[in-house]
């Protein structure tokens, strides 16, 4: 078996309103738009892809990505390690983000985290480096 030398996650989540979700994630994460549009967005931090947003009712070439009979984000935590947790928390508060669990120390990882809900109800976790 060939060894895997490079793996880069490129998470994609479905959202109701791509431009609104893009603005939210840009503000919360300090990210930049790399695509923009009503149906699809790529978000970058330091030119690295961190998240893709796809409108839930657009099938493009691949067919539907979401089952409308299940809650959006059920069982998913969109987790980001951020270099400066204090700056990230300030951005969250300025954005009026819905806080699920305020800043705390994760007892398993020993790192500070804040748990949020995005505009579509996804659980979003920002943590300092472990």
Exposed/middle/buried for 3, CB within 10 Å: 0-12, 13-18, 19+?
A: exposed
| pLDDT over 90 (residue 3) | no
CATH of 12-59+71-127, one of 1.10.3720.10, 3.40.640.10, 3.90.45.10, 3.10.180.10: 3.10.180.10
Q: What are the tens digits of pLDDT across the range 95-124?
A: 999 999 999 999 999 999 999 999 999 999
pTM, full prediction:
0.90
CA distance 118 to 116: 6
């Amino acid at each position: 078996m060939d060894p895997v030398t490079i793996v880069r996650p490129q998470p994609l989540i479905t959202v109701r309103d791509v431009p609104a979700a893009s603005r939210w994630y840009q503000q919360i994460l300090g990210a930049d738009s790399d695509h923009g549009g009503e149906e699809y967005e790529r978000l970058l931090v330091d030119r690295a892809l961190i998240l893709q947003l796809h409108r839930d009712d657009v099938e493009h070439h691949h067919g539907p990505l979401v089952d409308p009979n299940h809650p959006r984000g059920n069982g998913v935590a969109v987790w980001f390690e951020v270099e400066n947790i204090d700056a990230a928390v300030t951005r969250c508060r300025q954005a009026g983000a819905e806080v699920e669990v305020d800043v705390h120390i994760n007892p398993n990882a020993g790192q500070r985290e804040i748990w949020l809900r995005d505009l579509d109800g996804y659980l979003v976790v920002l943590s300092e480096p472990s």
